Structure 1
Amino acid sequence: MAVDVAIVGGSYAGLSAALQLARARRSVVIIDAGLRRNRFAETSHGFLSRDGEAPSAIAESGRRQLLAYPNVRFVEGTAETAGREGADFLVSLRDEKIGARRLILATGVVDELPPIPGLEERWGRSVFHCPYCHGYELGQRRIGILATGDHSFHQAMMLPDWGPTTLFVNGTFEPDAAEEAMLAARGVEIAREGVVAVEGSKAIVILAGGREVSLDGLFVTPRMRMASDLPAALGCAFDEGPLGPYIRTNEAKETSVAGIYACGDAARAAGSVSHAVGDGVTAGMAAHRSLIFDMH
C-alpha cells in the first residue's frame, strides 16, 4: 500500500517537510543516504536557537524528534530510481520499493570546487562559501575571496564587513573601472596573479611567482550540481542560477511535474540551513493540502 508522501533526502529540508506531514497524521517515509552538504563544517551558524552547534547534532536532533511520530519511517539508503506507478509514484532502493501518493525531493547539491591543491582539504574549516555562516567567527581578521566568475564581485563587496579582504581574481573575473573603484572604496585589495595552491593550518594562498598571502579564512563560491539524478529522470524542469542549475518550483514548492515537490538547496539558487528548513515547511504543507484538494 502506498504511503501518503515519500521524501528523498533526510537533511534539514527533508526533515522539516516530514514534520509538517507527520503532525497532519499522514504516513511518511524518508529516504536518506546520509550525505549532508555541510558535513565538512564543524559548526553551523545563522539558524535561530541552534547557532554554533555541529551540523550533525542539529540533523540528529531533528531526526530523533521526528521518529517519535508513529506515522514516520526513516530508511537509510539511496533512492536509485523513481517514476509513476499508476496514479502514484514508485521509488526504488537497492533492497526495497516504496509507493507514495506524493513525492518530495530534498536531494541536495554537490559543491564543485576549483581544481586548486589545498582547497578541498580545508573546505568547511578555513575555506568557506557563506560569510553569513562562517564570517563572524573569523574575528575581523584577514580574509580572502577566490573569484569563480562575475558573481564574485558581489561577494567581494560584502566581505569587508567581516574583515580586511583580498580578492584573488585568478583569471576568472576582471573588474571594470567602476567595479574596481567600488572595491577600492570598500578597502578590497586585488591580487591578479594566478592562485597555485592553498597551504598552512588556515589558508596561505600561494600565487604564481611565489608570493604568499596569509589569511584566516578564504571564501569561494563553487559551482553546484545535483546530488541525485532523480529530479531530471522524473522530468522536473530546471532554472539556471549563477552557480549552476536548480529545480524549478512555484510558491508552494511544487515542481513542473504534478505531485512532485522540491525543497532545500536542490531547489534554490543559493541556500542555508534556515532557508532549507523554511522551504521544507512550505513543501510539506503544500503536499498535505494537495492530498486533500488535488486529484492528480
Structure 2
Amino acid sequence: MHRDCRAAGRRVLYVLCVAADQQEVSAWRPRVPGVVEVFHAHFTEYAYPMHVHDVWTLLIVDDGAVRYDLERHEHGTPLGTVSLLPPHVPHNGAPATPHGFRKRVVYLDTSRLGADLIGAAVDGPDLVDPLLRRRVGQLHSALARAGDELEAESRLALVAERLRDHLRDRRNRRDTSAHRAGPLLARRLRELLDARVVDGVGLEEAARLLHAHPAHLVRAFSRAYGIAPHQYLTSRRVGRARRLLLDGRAPGEVAAATGFCDQAHLTRHFKKLVGVTPGRYRLSAR
C-alpha cells in the first residue's frame, strides 16, 4: 500500500489502434463549477479492472453497452440508461456487445451531489429516465462548445436536480438498518488511505495505527469495499494523475506528484485503469 520507492486550449482526439482493438479517447476539464472532468471514449475490447473514483461518475452510452459490477452486484448500461456511480465505491467495466461501447462521462464533485446520497446510488445506479437521458446528452453538447459555459451550468443544474430527486426518493424508501457501509475498521483504513494518497502507508504501520492485525485489516477492507487496500490507493493516485495531466503537466512530473515511483510505474497502472497511457491521455485533452 505504500509508495514503492522514494525518490484551456484546443481539443484533440487521439485514436489508438492495437491489433483488432480500437480505442478513442477525448478528455478535458471545462470551466464549469462542479465538473471535475469530461471523458469521451470508444473501446472495443478494453475492460476496466476494479477501481474507485473520489467523485461521482455520470455515464451515458451512445453505442453498444457496458457491463459492470458495483459492490458485488452486476449492472449494465444499455442505450437510454443513465448510470450514476458514487464516489469511493469500487466498480469495473467491460463491453457487453461484440463491437464494444462508446460512452460519455461527466465526473462531478460533491458540491453537486452530496455524500449522503451514496447509499441510494449504490442501491440502484442505473436510471431509466428518458428526460434525464436527453438532458445529460444536452449537457455534453454544451460542455463540448467553447464559450457556452453558462449554458452548460444551466443544463448541469437541471441534471443534478433530477438526479437528487431520484436518489432522495430512493433514500426515503431505504431501510437504514440495512445500511451497506463497511465496518468501522474498514472505514478508518479508508480514511487513512485518503489522507495519505501521495505518501502512502505501509500495512504494518496502518495496523499499528488502527490497532488491528494486518491480515484482519486487509480482510475487513476487502469485505467492506470489494477491493484490496492497495488497489484502492492506486485508484486514488490515478484519479489525481488524470487531473494533473488535464492541467498540462508532463507524465514524469505527475508520477512524482501522485505517489508513483517513476513514470513507468505510473504508466503501467494508468493504462490498466484508464485504457491509454498518460502521455496519450494528455494529448487527448482539450
Structure with the bigger percentage of helix: 2
Same fold (TM > 0.5): no
Category of TM-score, reference length = shorter chain: under 0.3
TM-score (norm 2): 0.25
TM-score (norm 1): 0.25
